[in-house]
Amino acid sequence: MKVTIKDIAKEANVSITTVSLIINDKGQRFSEETHARVKTAIAKLDYQPHYFAKNLNKTKSNTIGFIVSEITNPFFAELAKVIEDVLVEQGYLVLLCNSSSDREREERYVDEMLYRFVDGVFLAGTVSDNAHLLEKLKKRKVPYILLDRPSEYSQTNGIFIDDFAGGVEATNYLITHQHQAIGCITANEHFSNIHQRAQGYLAAMASQGNTPVVEIADEVNEYSGYQLAGKLLDKGVSAIFACSDIMAFGVYKAAAERGFKIPEDLSVIGFDDINLTHFMLPPLTTITQPTKAIGEHAARQMLEMIETGNLVVPNTVLDIALKTRSSVIVKQS
């Protein structure tokens, strides 16, 4: 049988009230000796409070949900890791769930999390058309934070970067290296942030009078990058902007298969700056997302919301930066 507060009370020869108060640090009024007796009993019987009983008429679980669209994408794995590190440090447990970008799964997870009384929810890379999810969270007064992908529905509680500006910067970098036939690999509008990066590309191309060549994927991974890069290469581009580093892996492969060398025959720029970009050959020039800062800021905001009961926090846009490595050079004539 599990040891209960009753057993402790009996062992220490006090009432259960006394035990409860002392356990929860509300027992200042008790004598030193009572404290000691209770502590000893707890240690002796190896008592652990009962999670369900303790929370029965509470509304806190010390658990925070984290819904991520694709855990095998290193960017998300790195982000989740940073956030978990901070939250665990603060005494929370993170309930990390992978949705594989599936709407139904996302909703299911939100329901299950609310059912389990999570104290907050992070939504990383979930579908942008998520009014129903946010509505549920608001109704239950559970704080949430949106990461990576803005929601059409929420103008607050998000931590993002300026994807459009990043797209412009990446494209301009290629343009300043004399590239004109620049292709772009992006994803459909459900991936709103990645879509925005392509919008930045389009704007930068337009301002130079360059003709854009965009390929749009329905998934963001190495394979889709590979497929679309092939199409672009067949169209004769001299540079490619891959709106996600993971897609850039596919670009490298497609180029290699066609005998194109990077950067001599093809310049490539990515977006995200995942750890692996250092290990691509050549190392990928990319737009850096401050993953650590995003995660830490997100965790802090969440803790603050939980603490204050405030459910709204203004959107934050963190700075990106161009990370120059070796995959882009001046166009060879």
Interface residues with a second copy (CB under 8 A)?
48-49, 51-53, 55-56, 63, 71-72, 74, 77-78, 80-81, 84-85, 88, 93-98, 100, 105, 108-109, 112, 115-117, 222, 226, 249-250, 252-253, 256, 275-276, 278-279, 281-282
How far, in Å, CA of 323 to CA of 173, rounded? 11
Least distance (Å) from a second copy to the CB of residue 248?
Answer: 10
> In this chain, which of 10, 30, 223, 227 binds DNA, going by CB under 7 A?
30
Number of H helices, E strands in the chain: 12, 12
Least distance (Å) from a second copy to the CB of residue 145?
Answer: 18
- Judged by beta carbon distances under 5 to 8 A according to partner kind, the member of a second copy, DNA, none in contact with residue 78 is a second copy
Give 78 or 215: the residue with its C-beta nearer to a second copy: 78
Residue pair 159/301 in contact (Cβ under 8 Å)? The answer is: yes
Least distance (Å) from a second copy to the CB of residue 85?
Answer: 8
| Distance of alpha carbon 38 from the chain centroid | 43
Residue for token digits 């998000």? 158
- Judged by beta carbon distances under 5 to 8 A according to partner kind, the member of a second copy, DNA, none in contact with residue 23 is DNA
Least distance (Å) from DNA to the CB of residue 59?
Answer: 10
Least distance (Å) from a second copy to the CB of residue 253?
Answer: 5
The Cα angle at residue 98 between residues 93 and 102, in degrees rounded to 5: 140
**Rounded (10°) angle between helices 103-115 and 131-139:** 10
**Quick one: CA dihedral 75, 81, 87, 89, positive or negative?**
negative
Amino acid at 58: K
Residue pair 42/258 in contact (Cβ under 8 Å)? The answer is: no
Write out the residues near DNA by the rule CB under 7 A. 1-2, 4-6, 13-18, 20-21, 23-24, 26, 29-31, 33-34, 49-50, 53-54, 56-58
